[in-house]
A and B are shown apart, each in its own frame.
Chain A
Amino acid sequence: MSGHVHRDDFGARLGMWLFLVTEMVLFGGLFIGYSYMRYRYPAEFHHGGSELNATLGIINTLVLLTSSLTVVLAIVAVQRAEKKRALAFLGTTLGLGLVFLVIKGFEWSAKFHHGLYPNSHHLSTLPPGEQVFYGLYFTMTGLHGLHVIAGLSVLGVMFWWVATDRIRQDRYVHLENGGLYWHLVDVIWIFLLPLFYLAA
């Protein structure tokens, strides 16, 4: 190998963490907003939570937790130069991410069928506290869903790079950073589960 390729894995990971910190502040602001609104409208949030499908929320939690595991296992596999295993783990993560989105799609479409979607007529007839609950529900799970799509796109590229040996035993910081993003998406969902689905 030529020894003149400039590479700073530490700097790359630090840069990723600094980006993740801005994501934490973005969602943190929404969580703080949620906590104030729940404090202000406890009964409405309780009722809103009882309308959500807790089983789907719990299944999606298990799906994301497992997808986080497979990303981190893919990194171990790359570190050990086990390419096939790494691709299998990453493929599993991509599949689980898609399963998450499909379940989310079913959940949201059920809400839409009941006339519950942003700015709907039915929503405007509900008490203000429930309007706030659904507003936060659609904003926070929707923003999280966009992050899942972004994370899947990034991990899709990582899969390609592992397959084409651009990511390998001696250079895998891209995979680490892609994994970091995916784990943060998982952490955000860890908080969304009790705040919305278990709120009742």
Chain B
Amino acid sequence: MTEHTEHTAEHAEHAGYGTFIKIWVILVVLTGCLVGVSHLGQTAAVWGLLTLTPLKAGLVFYYFMHLKYEGPLFKVVVLVTLGTLLIFFALLFSDVAFR
């Protein structure tokens, strides 16, 4: 590594082409699984939606958006946002459930 002056230590270790191409292959395969699962009936489709979709989004966040190579602050910012959305989701459905 030649650049040790301007970049933080964790950001200096750049991933190569191969890493991202592998992630892309996984994302395509997961999309195929999602489409396949959606043909297996309503329950399977909903479970596919709830598991495979966040997994795909997570891979994009972690690798393509370089969260893996960022410090804890960026991860906390994203997690707090997702947590807030989850709280609103839970509040809405707790209201709906007792109507």
CA–CA, A169 and B88, complex, Å: 42
CA–CA, A195 and B38, complex, Å: 11
Number of interface residues of A (CB under 8 A): 44
Contact A9:B24 (CB < 8 A) given known A69-B64, A190-B57: no
Contact residues of B: prevailing secondary structure: helix
Contact residues of A: prevailing secondary structure: helix
Q: Is the CB of A9 within 8 A of B34?
A: no
Q: Is the CB of B77 within 8 A of A18?
A: yes
The reply to whether the CB of B98 lies closer than 8 angstroms to some CB of chain A is no
Query: Distance in Å from the Cβ of B34 to the closest Cβ of chain A?
Result: 6
Q: Is the CB of B56 within 8 A of A58?
A: no
CA–CA, A45 and B45, complex, Å: 14
Query: Distance in Å from the Cβ of B5 to the closest Cβ of chain A?
Result: 10
Number of interface residues of B (CB under 8 A): 45
Query: Distance in Å from the Cβ of B97 to the closest Cβ of chain A?
Result: 10
A-B contact count (CB 8 A): 109
Which partner residue on chain A sits nearest B81 by CB separation?
A21
Q: Is the CB of B81 within 8 A of A36?
A: no
Partner of B28, one of A17, A62, A72: A62
Residues of B within 8 A of A72 (CB): 20, 63-64
- A interface residues, Cβ below 8 angstroms from B: 7, 9-10, 13-14, 17-18, 21, 24-25, 28-29, 31-32, 35-36, 39, 54, 58, 61-62, 65-66, 68-69, 71-73, 76, 79, 170, 176, 179-180, 183-184, 186-187, 190-191, 193-195, 198
- Per CB-CB distance, the 4 closest pairs between chain A and chain B, nearest first, are A198-B38, A28-B85, A69-B24, A194-B49
